[in-house]
Chains A and B, each alone.
Chain A
Amino acid sequence: RKEVEQDPGPFNVPEGATVAFNCTYSNSASQSFFWYRQDCRKEPKLLMSVYSSGNEDGRFTAQLNRASQYISLLIRDSKLSDSATYLCVVTKNAGNMLTFGGGTRLMVKP
């Protein structure tokens, strides 16, 4: 089983749509969780951290379910500029190396 698993997509959605991505992780001792965004041939950039209580940043909402080892990202009112690959990232309990999922590609169309 992959350490961090994501549906690769692509998710093709119209502007203004709401889209949700899911991610599962295998290490139950993982301590910190993040969503990063990666544009084509660019570096990963932190989108948001994910907390057990759930957290929201503008149009973006992240949820963590530790019991199911499941992380989600919801994007409301999609913009063309949201087109990117969204990376689910966890840290192992042994240290602070980041473990990346393969990413979910989002394409927002006009």
Chain B
Amino acid sequence: EPEVTQTPSHQVTQMGQEVILRCVPISNHLYFYWYRQILGQKVEFLVSFYNNEISEKSEIFDDQFSVERPDGSNFTLKIRSTKLEDSAMYFCASSEASLSETQYFGPGTRLLVL
């Protein structure tokens, strides 16, 4: 069964450093998402991406965040200057089409900012 993959599984970084989280969505999917989950809290939407551009973003997704699809398979989330409060599990998801189609989640990257 096709699945979303994410690397790395864990990332530890110093405050102020840049991190890039990588995702490989399911191959025939067209919509890509990033969500985050701070430990003990709910899953929160960050950004959605379609046709090589951001289609929607939340208040969390400020200027420190960016997304890119550098080639035909990878989808990345960059945090330019990490803060302590960026420590969370970051989930990538993809869906075949928009609205009401199932989003499939990757296993997540656990980011710890020290």
Contact A100 B102 (CB under 8 A): no
Task: Confirm or deny: B101 has a beta carbon within 8 angstroms of a beta carbon on chain A.
Answer: yes
Task: Confirm or deny: A58 has a beta carbon within 8 angstroms of a beta carbon on chain B.
Answer: no
On chain A, which size bracket covers the interface? 20 to 34
Task: Confirm or deny: A98 has a beta carbon within 8 angstroms of a beta carbon on chain B.
Answer: yes
Expressed in whole angstroms, the Cα–Cα distance for A16 and B58 within the complex equals: 41
Among A45, A46, A87, A97, point to the contact of B56 (Cβ < 8 A).
Answer: A97
Contacts of B105 in A (CB 8 A): 43-45
Expressed in whole angstroms, the Cα–Cα distance for A49 and B91 within the complex equals: 20
Among A31, A97, A102, point to the contact of B45 (Cβ < 8 A).
Answer: A97
On chain B, which size bracket covers the interface? 20 to 34
Contacts of B100 in A (CB 8 A): 31-32, 49, 91, 96
A-B contact count (CB 8 A): 61
Contact A96 B41 (CB under 8 A): no
Residue among B31, B45, B106 facing the most chain A CB atoms (10 A cut-off): B45
Task: Confirm or deny: A42 has a beta carbon within 8 angstroms of a beta carbon on chain B.
Answer: yes
Known: A43-B91, A43-B108, A44-B91. Contact between A98 and B42, CB under 8 A? no
Contact A42 B107 (CB under 8 A): yes
**B4: nearest residue on chain A (CB-CB)?**
A43
> Could you tell me the distance in whole angstroms from the C-beta of A61 to the nearest C-beta in chain B?
19
Taken residue by residue from 74 to 114, chain B's Cβ proximity to chain A (1 for < 8 Å, 0 otherwise) reads as 00000000000000010100010011111111111010000
**B48: nearest residue on chain A (CB-CB)?**
A97
Contact B43 A87 (CB under 8 A): yes
Contacts of A94 in B (CB 8 A): 56
Known: A43-B91, A43-B107. Contact between A95 and B99, CB under 8 A? yes
